[in-house]
Amino acid sequence: MIRSKLNVLITLSGFILLAACSDKIDYDGAGSFEADEVIVSSQQNGQLLSFSVEEGNALKAGDVVGQVDVVIPQLQKQQAEASIAALRQKTTTSNEQIEGVKKQLAVQQAQLEQQLRERQRTENLVKADAATRKQLDDMNAAIDQLQKQIAATRQQIAVYESNTSNQNRSVLSEKGPLEVMAKQYQEQINRGQIINPLTGIVLTKYALAGEMTAVGKPLYKIANLDTLTLKAYITGDKLSDIKRGQVVTVRIDEGKKNYRTYPGKISWIADKSEFTPKTIQTKNERANLVYAVKVKVKNDSRLKIGMYGEMIIKGGNSQ
């Protein structure tokens, strides 16, 4: 009876010792995988007319994935453009008036030159007694009248040009703000398009086509999963063994007893310690303060956000 109890105690002691050995921590840091997640939000108010995003979709940067109703800014832009067109027409009409009067002046000047030639011819005829003095006087009167008309036409052109100059300044002062308004409305129209900002996988969808949306309202969450970051925690005595850019070994569970390993590069080391997260074990379980380390790991599609991972410093090389 005593020997039987002794055998049981020896067997239990063996199991306890084996379990203790199997639970031995053989890594330098542990944590979970993260990704640079981007929440894409609406940049315009209105109804979500179309929205083709689905969770798990692979999207490229620049893909148009939806459209918000932008009828109001479109109408506002049309109104601004109509006002600009009216100002341009006003300027065009004034310029056309000036050109018309200038053409009239050119005709009058041509008539004056013709009349001057005729007067010279008439003066010669009068000297030869081939024309009367009255004919010459009538010719001089016509030339005098034509010269007065030319002077009046030139005065009219000067007035038109002065008015047009003032009008053009007024038009420009009105046209500038209208053009800026049109650009602002166009920008609002452009923001009605939902454009995917980065290449990655859609993690979460927050909206559906047909819903009302607003500026800043989240539509979906996306992340590039080609490279993930293991945020691991190490004790202070390991800080001297690592540096930024150093290559370390990262591993994840593969089955119950096996591991899959990946090369990783340290991209960031915390400059301040923090209390050990409850979900993290370290080699020294009594350690209250640890340092966070971020390790970039190339993803072979097996790594997932939130997955547990371990970091092993030994065997890493610096680059």
pTM value > 0.85 = no
**Do 176 and 235 reside in the same domain of the chain?**
no
Neighbours of 74 (CB within 10 A): 15
Domain membership of residue 81 (yes or no) is yes
Query: What pLDDT was estimated at residue 93?
Result: 67
Q: How far apart are CA 192 and CA 65, in angstroms?
A: 11
**pLDDT at residue 214 tops 70:** yes
State the DSSP code for 271: S
**Do 143 and 252 reside in the same domain of the chain?**
no
> In the chain, how many domains are there?
3
Instruction: Assess contact for 146 and 111: CB atoms under 8 A.
Output: yes
Strand partners, 263: 249
**Which residues have a Cβ under 8 Å from the Cβ of 292 and sit 6 or more positions away?**
31, 231, 232, 233, 269, 270, 274
Task: Provide the CATH number for the domain around residue 202.
Answer: 2.40.50.100
Tell me the residue range of the domain where 118 lies. Answer: 71-190
The phi, psi pair for 221, rounded to 5°, reads -115, 135
Query: What pLDDT was estimated at residue 152?
Result: 80
Return the axis-axis angle of helices 71-127 and 133-190, rounded to nearest 10°.
Answer: 170
Confidence of residue 213 (pLDDT cuts 50, 70, 90): very high
Q: Name the average pLDDT for the chain.
A: 83
Tokens of 224: 């590039």
**pLDDT at residue 248 tops 90:** yes
Confidence of residue 69 (pLDDT cuts 50, 70, 90): very high
The CA–CA distances, whole Å, from 313 to 201, 238, 274, 290, 307 equal 31, 9, 20, 16, 20
